[in-house]
């Protein structure tokens, strides 16, 4: 199997955003973080596709949607290998990588069962204390949620 075969599995788009090189097992979490279930645009995706770099990867193509960098950076928490491609007129117009943000509001659950955010309707808030290892410090209880315990709310 070569790289070109994976391209045939998910058609090219005319305009929009391609999120490539997502770890295969993180596809549905990326869909959730970007709230793709709530948009009306054409979306195509594939998973367990062959990747030379990663073994298996997932890819998402969203037509006519151009995300803010801030929006896309949220997926770095669970898909740090993701590559963003902006497509215009069938051409790759821009390429970028995702970077773990300094501050995470919402999305992630606090690991501490006693944390107020797990008992009241409060949006979680974390300071990222280690971007490489993905360690998040809760604004409310100061406990650290690490990559291993990271749950998307």
Scanning residues 32 to 61, which ones bind ligand CTP (CB under 6 A)?
A: 59, 61
Q: Does 107 bind ligand CTP (CB under 6 A)?
A: no
Long-range contacts of 126-130 (CB under 8 A, 24+ apart): 127/102, 127/103, 128/100, 128/101, 128/102, 128/103, 128/104
15 or 112: CB nearest ligand CTP: 15
Give bridge partners of residue 84 from the DSSP assignment: 19, 96
Strands (E), the chain: 16-23, 43-51, 55-63, 83-88, 91-97, 103-105, 125-130, 135-138, 144-146
In our burial notation (b when 16+ CB lie closer than 10 A, e otherwise), range 123-134 reads ebbbebeeeeeb
If binding is defined by CB under 6 A, does position 20 make contact with ligand CTP? yes
Rounded least distance, CB 27 to ligand CTP, Å = 14
Least gap, CB of 116 to Zn ion (angstroms): 7
Alpha carbon distance 24, 143 (integer Å): 30
Here's the x/- map for Zn ion, 92-131, by CB under 5 A: it reads as ------------------x-x--x----------------
- Per CB under 6 A, the segment of 33-41, 68-76, 85-93, 129-137 that binds ligand CTP is 85-93
Which CA distances in Å does 56 have to 95, 115, 133?
Answer: 21, 36, 22
Contacts with ligand CTP, 124-143, as mask; x by CB under 6 A: --------------------
Residue numbers at the binding site for ligand CTP (CB under 6 A): 7, 12-13, 18, 20-21, 59, 61, 83, 85, 87, 90, 92
Residue numbers at the binding site for Zn ion (CB under 5 A): 110, 112, 115, 138, 140-141
């Amino acid at each position: 199997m070569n790289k070109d075969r994976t391209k045939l599995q998910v058609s090219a788009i005319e305009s929009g955003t391609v999120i490539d090189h997502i770890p295969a097992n993180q596809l549905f979490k990326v869909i959730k973080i970007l709230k793709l279930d709530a948009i009306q645009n054409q979306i195509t995706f594939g998973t367990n596709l062959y990747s030379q770099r990663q073994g298996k990867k997932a890819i998402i193509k969203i037509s006519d949607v151009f995300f803010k960098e801030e929006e896309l950076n949220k997926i770095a928490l669970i898909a740090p290998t993701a590559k963003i491609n902006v497509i215009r007129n069938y051409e790759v117009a821009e390429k970028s990588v995702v970077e773990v943000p300094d501050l995470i509001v919402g999305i992630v659950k606090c690991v501490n069962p006693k944390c107020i955010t797990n008992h009241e309707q409060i949006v979680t808030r974390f300071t990222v204390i280690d971007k490489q290892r993905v360690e998040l410090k809760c604004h409310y209880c100061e406990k650290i949620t690490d990559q291993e315990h990271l749950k998307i709310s």
